[in-house]
A and B are shown apart, each in its own frame.
Chain A
């Protein structure tokens, strides 16, 4: 039994956390995630969850306490955004290398400086090499769906990795949409009981977590971590299929929107994918063969599948809502272009860095990108590989 409701992204995420009913949540408020923590506090105050809620004094302690709880065998969650994620940084890596299946919603916000509270992906993209699985959502429904699936993905015995559930700040977190919530008992059944294999609290079988790991073992442990990421690819698909059976919703690594016969396409993740769909529809009416690849899973990166989906196109624009300052493009662009190298495709790939600090990205902006791609196809030339979309000169 599911339930049709009108909720903001933050409300949907708080509902997901309530239904997951974690043993421990340790979290610190930060715009635009604050409401998630506030609403969850109310669930705790009302006895609606079994959670022990640890009201830490910083995000660094939020991640530290979450690691301590997860190492104690608890299903543990936190949530953050932007500078909060940056303050956690050190422990974000430790959570992954300690192989703790923590689920963390990140309500994406521009990372300071200059300080800015609005959406971009510079927070999560900076953590792309931290060893966390990263899922992105086009809307509140997908963010909710990803949060529930994240529990299963992270806890899978072949994975045991933390999962970052990304949701665009304000654009999704504060906008109301109609969505379907699962019934509490369906979520409970879907995620199941969590039993950690080794825990600090199994005091009859004591363990040592986080020992000093020197030249003779560290490397092997890092490779095991990489193998777990490989395994995650398979598990993400399994869990997505099962979730689709339950809800009729969702997809695996990405959604292809009118991509099959497309000549030009945008690759985007998060809310911009929705805007791109509107642009595609408009262009299709004009007879332009435009399409979209909406990436759901950025870590691990589904290189083979992305390359296969794009290799038959004539031109692709990769949209990055974060810059790397490498001067050769954003983080998603680097991975997509690298993936295409292996399939020796003739598709031209360009990069648009867009929407930094919450700069609005409209249907017209994306039409401009498609027109640019059309120009590349017509002329056979790329005058500039990496561009900033809609920036004043």
Chain B
């Protein structure tokens, strides 16, 4: 696989056009564009109900240059698995040219992936369809107005886990969906972030190349839900990986590999402090809450170092 070259990327056509209605600074469109730069083949895109879907295909317009299907909220994986099955069937019967290569990709937010679409995703991965599933994980149901999901980090204030006088935001840690999908023993699973586009595009290339299902869990910034000025996004995302809140790793044929080991692990406050959803944690008396988050992140990082053979 050749190296990701920024100059070459800049010459490629965008497959998701401008004029879509996602918020300024949204991570989803950036992630989609980076990922679609990773293949030259035509793709069929499936999309779960969510920000990306409602903002890119408002009838009679579409921002997608490739074929696109939205079915419902919880079934992007099942839907695209059906289209992939159609492709295999028609190709085998000679109804589609045998030289024609089509890639299949589904996008879902964390709501459509970690929660309501979890079963459909697990089924599609287990069945072994040749498809890529991408979760753009912005850590809440942003499309319906910032409600908590099982991807919402602990103590984040959302509209259904608000920071109140008694309860300091969401009381649970987020679930490690990337690990759960890795446990399906599929050819390729990775966690990525769009601030490191070389890493993300390389992973997307690999995801498209493997024969069988691939899953990418991509951290997706959300200025509205995370509450920060849009121009700080890339710094925040970098803090997310440097603090090891969002480790960059991949699991290829069962081999775990860390893709970014910070020289010096940044304190989790670098990640938390710029975001309004964590503002209450910095009030006097809440120091222990930050400590608990730090402990959890440290524990998880140690686990990953072991899994990836770094320790």
Contact = CB atoms under 8 A, between A and B. Distances in A.
Nearest to B73: A90
A114 interface: no
A210 B73 CA distance: 12
B78 A212 contact: no
| Residue in A24, A56, A68, A73 whose Cβ sees the most chain B Cβ within 10 Å | A68
Interface in B49-107: 53-54, 57-62, 64-72, 74-75, 78-90, 92-93, 95-96, 100, 102
Nearest to B103: A203
A203 B102 contact: yes
A391 interface: no
B191 to A, nearest CB: 24
Contacts, number: 167
Contacts of A71: 69, 82-83
A28 B120 CA distance: 13
A56 B85 CA distance: 12
A50 interface: yes
B85 A54 contact: yes
A217 to B, nearest CB: 5
Interface residues of A, number: 42
B306 interface: no
Interface stretch (A7-15, A59-67, A320-328): A59-67
Interface in A58-111: 58, 60-61, 64-74, 76, 90-91, 94
Nearest to A53: B85
A211 B79 contact: no
B240 interface: no
| Residue in A51, A56, A207, A208 whose Cβ sees the most chain B Cβ within 10 Å | A208
Given A50-B89, A201-B83, A213 B123 contact: no
B194 interface: no
Contact of A68 (B42, B46, B102): B46
B70 A211 contact: yes
A61 B79 CA distance: 7
Contact of B83 (A69, A90, A91, A214): A69
Contacts of B119: 57-58, 60-61
Contacts of A209: 67-70
B85 A24 contact: yes
B120 A201 contact: no
A200 interface: yes
A90 B46 CA distance: 17
B86 A69 contact: yes
A52 interface: yes
B127 to A, nearest CB: 7
B201 interface: no
A236 B44 CA distance: 34
A200 B47 CA distance: 13
A90 B72 contact: yes
Contact of A52 (B42, B80, B89): B89
Interface string A193-204: 000000011110
Given A64-B71, A64-B79, A211 B58 contact: yes
A201 B81 contact: no
Contact of B72 (A26, A55, A91): A91
Nearest to B96: A201
A187 to B, nearest CB: 17
Contacts of A57: 119-120, 122-123, 126
A64 B123 CA distance: 12
Given A23-B89, A58-B119, A206-B68, A64 B82 contact: yes
A131 to B, nearest CB: 15
A203 B67 contact: yes
Interface string B7-26: 00000000000000000000
Interface of B: 42, 44, 46, 53-54, 57-62, 64-72, 74-75, 78-90, 92-93, 95-96, 100, 102, 119-120, 122-124, 126-127
Interface of A: 23-24, 26, 50-52, 54-58, 60-61, 64-74, 76, 90-91, 94, 200-203, 206-214, 217
Q: 5 shortest A-B CB distances, which residue pairs?
A: A68-B82, A65-B82, A57-B123, A72-B86, A203-B42
11 contacts: A24-B85, A52-B89, A58-B119, A60-B78, A61-B119, A64-B72, A67-B82, A72-B86, A200-B44, A210-B71, A211-B60
